Structure 1
Amino acid sequence: MYEIYGIKNCNTMKKAFDYLNAHKIPYEFHDYKKLGISAEKLKEWASQVGWEKLLNKQGTTWRSLDEETKNAITNEKKAVALMQEKTSVIKRPVIELGNEIVIIGFEENLYNAIHWKH
């Protein structure tokens, strides 16, 4: 079973949910807003894909930060602390099977290329 991480009220998440449901791909939803996210999980993902890929610098949460805060995010430790504090700054969704990241974000072409386990 896949685990999809994100926040419920997000257009990108809606696209991912719609895709998974339409293709009958089983998943459980982990809502950052309700359940938070552990530093260990963020570090695990960062070790696989890099903290820079996890940090959503295109979103409104990042853009609303002051320049001093943005400029201070220079390494994984600082990025993980920010992502724990402001979960909306984590790129969405993150989908994993077990401890293996499948994909970050939503790109239909990429989803179509994945050999999903049903």
Structure 2
Amino acid sequence: MTPTMYGIRNCDTVRKARAWLDDHGIAHGFHDYRRDGVDRTTLLRWVDELGWEALLNRAGTTFRRLPEAERAELDRERATALMLAHPSAIRRPVLDLGERRLVGFRPELYAHALAGPSRA
């Protein structure tokens, strides 16, 4: 399976991650969730696997600009609804490797996850 990167095209971290993949000759797809959104099924799968706390970018401008009422008392359902309504509030990038996902970009994690034929 070809990995798919989810993120926002003009995000600096996404650019670094995409450049790392390109520099290492790793073909990948790209899904801009600001432009194309994220469907509920995909987001729920991510939340089940990674937890909403790992996916919600509380430090980002999108989240910080939301009214306090939307940011308060978050739980799985409220956070998922918020990320569906505001995909820019999803931490990025999310790299879908098929069998698992990586959130954020750390070169050493990408190297380990994408190493060798079995992608350990």
TM-score (norm 2): 0.88
1:104 alignment counterpart:
103
CA distance in 2, matches of 1:76, 1:68: 16
Unaligned runs of 5+ in 2: none
Over the matched positions of the two proteins, sequence identity in percent amounts to: 40
1:37 alignment counterpart:
38
Residue aligned with 2:35, SS: helix
| RMSD of aligned alpha carbons | 1.5
Deviations 1:57-84 (A, max 9, x none): 1111111112221104x22221111111
Deviations 1:36-60 (A, max 9, x none): 1111111100110101100001111
Alignment of 1:20-99 (within 5 A): 20-72=21-73, 74-98=74-98
Equivalent residue pairs, number: 116
Higher helix share: 1
1:117, CA displacement in angstroms? 6.1
Higher strand share: 1
Unaligned runs of 5+ in 1: none
Residue aligned with 1:36, SS: coil
